[in-house]
């Protein structure tokens, strides 16, 4: 645990600088004790990929590498090739063992964006995300754990990754994906718009030490 934390801190220092390391450290300490956030809840029909052209969400940097990682063997091979991501993806081994799928993009060998996809309750639980209601038995899935390197924000990496997740789900017969986005994160909310999502509710999340509280309420149709 300490070794992994040290490696993550060193990697953040090398790639993002001292300020990013300090912010990450303070956030890590704060989240260990207390966390409170309000969210918008979105649902996205996966069939939208049938009408959305890839060119509409292609990253603004033409040379990038996109990978889908579904097993720890694939994760080990990717990192061995020089494409490192574990310093930004918490509990990767456990999450992959539980069935979560990782989507990641790199510019040369630098991590640009990562996010997770859960198609079972066990996989979703491993992501340590707000416990939004997802009916996995009724062809629904959950998207979460989204992070974009500050250097590559507003370059469509998150949108491209979302398109690939919707394709991945559609090919497997899953009709709907759900995601929660902080009300403060206007950029991520705007990034959803190309996909025609439905903002169907609001959620409030509170965690004090190990106790977690979650409440959802529907939004009136606009």
51 or 166: whose pLDDT is higher?
A: 166
Percent of the chain with pLDDT over 70: 84
Q: Please say if the pLDDT value at position 177 is more than 90.
A: yes
Q: How far from 211 is each of 33, 90, 127, CA to CA, in Å?
A: 10, 20, 16
Q: Please say if the pLDDT value at position 90 is more than 50.
A: yes
| Mean pLDDT, rounded, of the chain | 87
Q: What is the DSSP letter of 31?
A: H
Least confident of 53-57, 113-117, 197-201: 53-57
Convert the pLDDT of each residue in 13-63 to its tens digit. Answer: 666 666 665 666 556 555 556 678 999 999 999 987 877 778 889 999 989
- For the chain, the residue count is 222
Helix, strand or coil for residue 221? coil
User: For residues 73 and 64, what is the distance between their CA atoms, to the nearest angstrom?
Assistant: 22
Q: Where are the alpha helices (DSSP H) in 1-115?
A: 2-16, 18-33, 72-80, 92-97
Exposure of 163 by Cβ count < 10 A (0-12 exposed, 13-18 middle, 19+ buried)? buried
The two three-digit tokens of residue 105, written as one number:
């993009």
Q: How far from 39 is each of 30, 146, 173, 185, 210, CA to CA, in Å?
A: 19, 14, 28, 9, 20
Residue range of the domain that includes 119: 2-218
* H-helix or E-strand spanning residue 164: helix 157-171
Q: Which residues pair with residue 106 across a beta bridge?
A: 65, 111
User: For residues 93 and 75, what is the distance between their CA atoms, to the nearest angstrom?
Assistant: 9
The two three-digit tokens of residue 165, written as one number:
């997740």
Q: 8-11: long-range contacts at Cβ-Cβ below 8 A with a sequence spacing of 24 or more?
A: 8/86, 8/87, 8/88, 11/84, 11/87, 11/88
- Count of domains in the chain? 1
Q: Please say if the pLDDT value at position 139 is more than 70.
A: yes
* H-helix or E-strand spanning residue 166: helix 157-171
Residue 8 sits in a domain whose CATH number is: 3.40.630.30
């Amino acid at each position: 645990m300490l070794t992994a934390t040290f490696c993550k801190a060193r990697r953040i220092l090398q790639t993002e600088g001292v300020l990013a390391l300090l912010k990450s450290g303070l956030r890590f300490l704060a989240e260990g004790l207390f966390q409170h956030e309000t969210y918008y809840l979105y649902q996205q029909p996966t069939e939208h990929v049938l009408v959305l052209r890839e060119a509409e969400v292609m990253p603004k940097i033409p040379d990038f590498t996109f990978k889908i990682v579904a097993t720890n063997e694939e994760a080990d091979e990717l990192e061995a090739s020089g494409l490192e991501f574990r310093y930004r993806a918490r509990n990767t081994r456990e999450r992959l063992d539980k069935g979560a799928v990782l989507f990641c993009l790199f510019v040369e060998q630098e991590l640009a964006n990562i996010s997770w996809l859960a198609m079972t309750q066990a996989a979703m639980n491993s992501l340590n995300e707000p416990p939004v209601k997802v009916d996995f038995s009724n062809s629904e899935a959950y998207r979460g754990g989204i992070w974009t390197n500050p250097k590559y924000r507003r370059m469509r990496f998150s949108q491209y990754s979302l398109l690939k997740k919707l394709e991945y789900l559609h090919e497997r017969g899953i009709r709907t994906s759900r995601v929660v986005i902080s009300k403060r994160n206007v950029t991520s909310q705007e990034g959803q718009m190309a996909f025609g999502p439905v903002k169907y509710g609001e959620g409030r999340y509170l965690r004090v030490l190990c106790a977690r509280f979650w409440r959802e309420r529907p939004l009136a149709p606009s």
